[in-house]
């Protein structure tokens, strides 16, 4: 593409975003064709969220429907809010009640949570989502603009606000409402109510459109001037003259910070009135024809409510603006605020405040005074939604990767196996050293998983752990929705997590993890054996050791937290080692896997043996189940039984129970789930049977020893040439690189670590 092509594409994009201004009558016709463009603030925000659709996620072991809006889809997920789906769903439910005018109109929505839980991402996600929604046909947002120059009849009077030059004399000098006034607010109240009644009669929605606001003071100044002029001239169609398209136009605008979204940042200062609605500009008052009073045209309208009128008002880091919150007490229910004692302004905005837990401490400073608490009225109006630290391993892994790289896409998967593969993936980061040289640091497979699992484990409450489970088990149940224990899969509802858990209320924040890992790759260290070219590989044990060692010097943790977190690292190390061990074994046994055809034949044999269903050979002849084939499969591939558990080829009771409980039960479950279809054993997904899945996908050291009789893990570091150990090692490293995404260096280090532990117990 040429430069002109890009310019043309940009032109086309803007043409699709903006419309030509229209007259008031055309706008009214437009809202009857597309009612969403007339929505009041809370309804508009609700519609923007719902328009993005939903998806199914698993959090804390339960399936939940999540609004895609909070994945920041319009911005490629850059400011997605990870996790906290239940909290966000509660917010949307409350928003629906507010929009419908059901009981929560006076509420100020409050998001609270510890640092690094996604609250800042919420603000960015809301702004991004509203901006992009306002560019769509359904989400168009409209306001009014005025021109009184054609009615001035030579009088030296201008229409302006803020720093605009009041003496401008353009033939068409249009001024937009500085607070995004709703176009229907131009109508007299009784006419506006009739328009809304007719509109809502046609609207198939449980949330009716409500527009209660009167014209803003700036627009009222223009309206009054035009009304006075045309009334003085004896105009009969007075409203038509005032709203003629020479004086009034309806124009669309793109919602953004400062126009439909007001954001009060923690560093913003000034008197409460200035922060809320803006300030008077005294030089302007002297220049304008104010007729002995303050003129609304001389107001800046740069306060948070003015900017957020029409859509959303956000008070960020609300503890810094606690003095302002009491000034907002009556804004949600009265929907008005004053510029000055004599000049008021109606506002239509959804109010939302964001804070760390320190705001709650301020609000509760007088709680011991019972009914005399001066902050009681404010606390009654706050509708609290609590953000917590992530308690899902996959979400925390995703978040850490985002913090270390430029990745922004939200992880979506059809199955947990897909997520599991993402969790274990390596991460490679380019780092520039002090000499200006650039190198690539690799977080080996399972390194990010180790950091994420340790962080999650520090956030889980161990008070409600069922017997026999540790915190790693709980973390896995929360992430998967089940726990796989050998051949047995136990769903979350089989566990009794008694009591009120405080999961996610405290623990290691992602900022600590991010800073620790960033320092780990930035600092030159001889982490491993000097003879290996692996100085740029960060192993899972490097990550866990460094995170644990850094707790002592991190001011963010109390002494009690340091001690608690240090005690939780051992089960994480054990789990991560098991994951590395599994990779090495699977790489060793990759060429020894049982093919699916052999497994399928065994399943069919067992099914026929138990149910007396007919079994056919390749020629279509009915045959009896073969006891020898089943026996050999169970001994050689399953590794479950020995010759002693058979009488000749006939199974003893232990083998018969195994076949019924592990194979037949799974087949019966599958048949029940597919009872409306024609069930056939050959149609069964073999991986749906846990014991068969383990045959197809996992092995153990007994399998290794049985397959490679001369293999010796004690020789792994430097195996003698020509030995079976040397052959197995070469093939294993190649498989780990080709199939499991290890680098040669990380495969070498991981396999050495595993073999070093295995050699102690090798028989």
102 and 226 fall within a common domain? yes
433 vs 744, residue with greater confidence: 744
Is-contact 443 557, C-beta < 8 A?
A: no
Domain boundary, last residue among 536, 570, 604: 570
Residue ending a domain, choose from 330, 354, 385:
385
The residue among 385, 419, 445 that closes a domain is 385
Q: Using 50, 70 and 90 to split pLDDT, how confident is the model at 600?
A: confident
User: How many other CB atoms sit within 10 Å of the CB of residue 677?
Assistant: 9
Tell me the whole-structure pTM to 2 decimals: 0.83
Rounded Cα distance, 256 and 239, in Å: 32
Same domain, 374 and 401: no
Does 187 lie in the same domain as 67? yes
Domain range spanning residue 104?
A: 36-152+171-385
- Residue 403 pLDDT > 80: yes
**pLDDT tens digits, residue range 18-27?**
788 999 999 9
614 inside domain: yes
Same domain flag for 378 and 403? no
**Span 446-451, mean pLDDT?**
97
**Is 639 in the same domain as 673?**
yes
Does residue 609 lie in a domain region? yes
Do 405 and 375 fall within a single domain?
no
CA-CA distance, 715 to 588, in Å (whole number)?
15
How large is the average pLDDT for residues 601-610? 86
Is the pLDDT assigned to residue 659 strictly greater than 50? Answer: yes
Q: Is 3 contained in some domain?
A: no
Structure tokens belonging to residue 668: 């019966």
Residue 148 lies in a domain: yes
411 and 340, same domain (yes or no)? no
How far is the CA of 119 from the CAs of 81, 286, 692, in angstroms?
Answer: 8, 44, 45
Q: Is a pLDDT exceeding 90 seen at residue 37? A: yes
Query: What digits encode the pLDDT tens for the residues 525-571?
Result: 545 444 455 568 999 999 999 999 999 999 989 999 999 999 999 99
3-state SS class at 172: coil
With respect to residue 206, please indicate whether it lies within any of the assigned structural domains: yes
**What pLDDT is stored for residue 162 in this prediction?**
47
Averaging pLDDT over each range in 75-84, 666-675, 688-697, which range is the top one? 75-84
The two structure tokens encoding residue 35: 């009612």
Same domain for 306 and 252?
yes
Q: How is 242-292 classified by DSSP, letter by letter?
A: HTSTTTEEEEEE--EETBEEEEE-TT--S-HHHHHT--B-HHHHHHS--TT
27 falls within a domain: no
Percent of the chain with pLDDT over 90: 50
Return the CATH number at 348: 3.40.50.300
Cα separation, 606 vs 604, in Å, equals 5
User: Would you state the pLDDT for residue 172?
Assistant: 59
Q: What is the pLDDT of residue 17?
A: 63
What per-residue confidence (pLDDT) applies to 687?
Answer: 58
Question: CA–CA separation, 44 vs 35, rounded Å?
Answer: 11
Task: Tell whether 701 is covered by a domain.
Answer: yes
CA 244/CA 148 separation, integer angstroms: 11
For residue 158, is it within any domain?
no
SS3 state at 66? strand
Per-residue pLDDT for 202 more than 90? no
- pLDDT, one tens digit per residue, over 424-434 is 999 998 887 76
**Are 310 and 204 within one domain?**
yes
- Single out the residue of 405, 615, 633 nearest to residue 521, CA to CA: 405
Q: For residue 300, is pLDDT > 70?
A: yes
Q: Is the pLDDT of residue 675 over 60?
A: no
pLDDT at 48 over 70: yes
Stronger pLDDT, 354 or 173, i.e. the higher one: 354
| Same domain as 522, residue 454 | yes
- Does the pLDDT value for residue 95 go beyond 60? yes
Spatial CA neighbour of 749 closest among 494, 521, 454, 426: 426
Number of H helices, E strands in the chain: 31, 22
3-state secondary structure of 542: helix
Q: Tell me: the pLDDT tens digits for 70-79?
A: 999 988 899 9
- Total domains present in the chain: 3
In this structure, are 310 and 399 located in the same domain? no
Query: What's the mean pLDDT when you consider all of the chain?
Result: 85
Q: 10 Å Cβ neighbour count for 462?
A: 14
Domain match, 401 and 381 both: no
**Residue-wise pLDDT tens digits, 698-738:** 678 888 888 888 999 999 999 999 999 999 999 999 999 99
Q: Minimum mean pLDDT among 56-70, 311-325, 359-373, 732-746: which range?
A: 359-373
CA angle 738, 744, 750 (to 5 degrees): 100
């Amino acid at each position: 593409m040429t430069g002109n092509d890009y310019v043309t594409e940009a032109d086309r994009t803007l043409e699709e975003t903006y419309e030509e201004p229209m007259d008031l009558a055309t706008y009214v016709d437009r809202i009857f064709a597309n009612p969403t463009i007339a929505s009041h603030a809370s309804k508009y925000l609700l519609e923007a969220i719902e328009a993005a659709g939903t998806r199914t996620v698993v959090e804390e072991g339960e399936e939940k429907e999540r609004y895609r809006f909070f994945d920041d889809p319009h911005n490629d997920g850059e400011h997605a809010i990870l996790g906290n789906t239940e909290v966000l769903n509660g917010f949307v439910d409350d928003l629906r009640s507010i929009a419908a005018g059901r009981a929560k109109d006076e509420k100020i929505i409050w998001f609270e949570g510890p640092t690094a839980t996604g609250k800042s991402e919420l603000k960015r996600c809301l702004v991004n989502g509203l901006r992009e929604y306002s560019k769509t046909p359904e989400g168009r947002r409209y306001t009014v603009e005025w021109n009184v120059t054609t009615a001035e009849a030579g009088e030296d009077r201008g229409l302006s606000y803020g720093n605009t030059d009041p003496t401008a004399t353009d033939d068409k000098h249009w001024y937009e409402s500085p607070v995004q006034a709703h176009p229907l607010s131009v109508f007299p109240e009784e006419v506006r109510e009739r328009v809304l009644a007719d509109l809502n009669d046609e609207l198939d929605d449980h949330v009716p459109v409500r527009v209660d606001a009167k014209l803003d003071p700036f627009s009222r100044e223009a309206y009054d001037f035009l009304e006075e002029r045309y009334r003085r001239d004896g105009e009969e169609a007075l409203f038509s003259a005032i709203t003629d398209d020479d004086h009034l136009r309806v124009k669309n605008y793109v919602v953004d910070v400062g126009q439909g979204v007001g954001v009060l940042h923690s560093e913003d200062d000034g008197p409460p009135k200035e922060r809320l609605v803006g300030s008077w500009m005294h030089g302007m008052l002297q220049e304008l024809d104010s007729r002995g009073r303050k003129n609304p045209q001389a107001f800046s309208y740069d306060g948070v409510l003015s900017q957020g009128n029409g859509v959303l008002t956000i008070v960020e880091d609300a503890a810094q603006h606690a003095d302002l919150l009491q000034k907002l007490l009556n804004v949600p229910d009265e929907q008005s605020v004053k510029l000055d004692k004599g000049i008021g302004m109606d506002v239509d905005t959804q109010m939302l405040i964001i804070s760390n837990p320190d705001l709650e401490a301020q609000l509760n400073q007088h709680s011991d005074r019972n009914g005399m608490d001066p902050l009681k009225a404010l606390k009654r109006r706050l509708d609290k939604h609590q953000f917590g630290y992530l308690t899902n391993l996959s979400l925390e892994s995703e978040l850490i990767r985002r913090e270390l790289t430029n990745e922004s896409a939200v992880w979506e998967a059809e199955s947990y196996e897909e997520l599991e593969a993402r969790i274990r993936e390596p991460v490679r980061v380019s780092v520039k050293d002090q000499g200006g040289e650039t190198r690539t640091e690799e977080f080996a497979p399972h390194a990010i998983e180790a950091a994420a699992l340790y962080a999650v484990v520090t956030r889980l409450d161990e008070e409600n752990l069922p017997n026999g489970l540790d915190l790693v088990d709980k973390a896995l149940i929360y992430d998967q929705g089940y726990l796989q224990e050998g051949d047995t899969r136990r769903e979350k509802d089989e566990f009794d997590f008694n009591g009120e858990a405080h999961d996610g209320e405290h623990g290691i924040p992602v900022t600590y993890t991010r800073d620790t890992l960033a320092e780990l790759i930035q600092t030159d260290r001889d982490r491993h054996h000097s003879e290996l070219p692996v100085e740029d590989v960060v192993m899972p044990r490097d990550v866990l050791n460094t995170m644990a060692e850094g707790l002592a010097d991190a001011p963010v943790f109390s002494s009690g937290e340091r001690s608690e977190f240090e005690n939780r690292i051992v089960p994480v190390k054990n789990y991560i080692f098991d994951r590395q061990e599994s990779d090495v074994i699977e790489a060793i046994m990759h060429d020894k896997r049982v093919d699916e055809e052999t497994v399928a034949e065994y399943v069919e044999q067992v099914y026929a043996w138990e149910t007396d269903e007919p079994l056919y050979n390749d020629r279509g002849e009915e045959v009896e189940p073969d006891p020898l084939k089943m026996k050999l499969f169970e001994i050689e591939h399953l590794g479950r039984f020995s010759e002693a558990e058979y009488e000749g080829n006939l199974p003893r009771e232990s083998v018969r129970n195994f076949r019924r409980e592990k194979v037949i039960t799974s087949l019966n479950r599958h048949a029940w789930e597919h009872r409306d279809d024609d069930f056939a054993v050959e149609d069964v997904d073999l991986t749906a049977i846990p014991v068969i899945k383990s045959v197809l996908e996992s092995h153990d050291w007994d399998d290794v020893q049985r397959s490679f009789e001369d293999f010796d893990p004690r020789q792994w570091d430097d195996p003698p040439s020509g030995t079976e150990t040397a052959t197995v090692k070469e093939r294993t490293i190649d498989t780990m690189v080709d199939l499991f995404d290890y680098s040669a260096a990380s495969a070498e280090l991981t396999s050495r670590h595993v073999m070093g532990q295995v050699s102690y117990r090798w028989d």
